[in-house]
Amino acid sequence: MAKPPIDPEKVVVFSGAGISAESGISTYRDANGLWAGVNPNAIASKTAWEKNPQKVLEFFNERMKTAALAEPNAAHHAVKDLEDVYEVVVITQNVDDLHERAGSKNIIHLHGSLMEARGDSKGSQAVYRGAIPIRYDETDDFGNQLRPNVVLFGEDMMHADESIDHIKTAGKIIVVGTSLNVYPAAGLLKKARYHSEKIIVSLEVDKIPFGFQMMRGKATEIVPSITRAWLASLAESEQAAPGKPDPAES
Ligand code: OAD
């Protein structure tokens, strides 16, 4: 089957915890990260939820409070600014809502969102709830315990097919603030096309996927400089496009 064409005016932003670090939200695997000295299986897994839902709710309610107090930073805003001229799809592993609050419109949460809740039952519909902690014994209309709509260890990642379709057709991909340690999320990047422009911005990455250029540094410093260059390059190429009416003549 023929591959879908690459759209040079389409950008995929693939983000992880590091893009929100400078907003005051902890990453997972950095020295002072959420998983430092903690076994995530004990507080953020399907098994933990079955054994001790109160403990899991406590962990995610705390994270929701932290996220609600945080503000989007220069990297989130730079991603949003790309929408002025590009089609932008944000594919994030993050469960915070800082991309939303920066104004990005097309956001896919691979690991769910702290701001949504659903009943603890297969097929239960997630609803937006905002930063309201979930109480133990709080149920949906069918009597199922409410839980955050986040992916726990042992559960399936969300929106894989949709994300792959976007990655396959993007002319530019920027990966920001992820260690690329967690699969299947990290594996989605293997679907990026050979001829697309591919950049990683992070302090540290274990293994750089094929064809990606690593730009080591802070998201708030590097992402805006990349997006400014991309915005300028598209504006220039549009000006140079033959047959385009000159606004000065109209
Ligand atoms: P990690 O904590 O694994 O990685 C964060 C990455 O961000 C690291 O590579 C850091 O070097 C980088 N970083 C930290 N501060 C930065 C900054 N200011 N600017 C740029 N980069 C910075 O977080 P994720 O890769 O997002 O899943 O973790 C992936 C998944 O693992 C999460 O979604 C979560 C976790 O377990 C679930 O909970 C299902």
Span from the CA of 235 to the centroid of ligand 1 (angstroms): 33
pTM of this prediction? 0.94
- The CA distance from 174 to 166, in Å, is 13
- What confidence tens digit (pLDDT) does each residue in 68-78 have? 999 999 999 99
Who's near 73: CB < 8 A, 6+ residues apart?
19, 20, 22, 23, 98, 219, 220
CA atoms within 13 A on the CB side of 118: 13
Contact status, residue 96 vs residue 26, Cβ threshold 8 Å: no
| CA-wise closest residue to 215 among 199, 198, 195 | 199
Judged by phi (left if over 0) then psi (alpha if -120 to 50, else beta), residue 38 lies in beta
Average pLDDT, the chain: 94
H or E element, residue 168: helix 160-169
**Is the CB of residue 20 below 6 angstroms from any atom belonging to ligand 1?**
no
Span from the CA of 181 to the centroid of ligand 1 (angstroms): 8
What number of other Cβ atoms are within 10 A of residue 221's Cβ? 13
**Is the CB of residue 27 below 6 angstroms from any atom belonging to ligand 1?**
yes
Strands 7-15 and 170-176: parallel
Contact status, residue 11 vs residue 171, Cβ threshold 8 Å: yes
- What confidence tens digit (pLDDT) does each residue in 134-177 have? 999 999 999 999 999 999 999 999 999 999 999 999 999 999 99
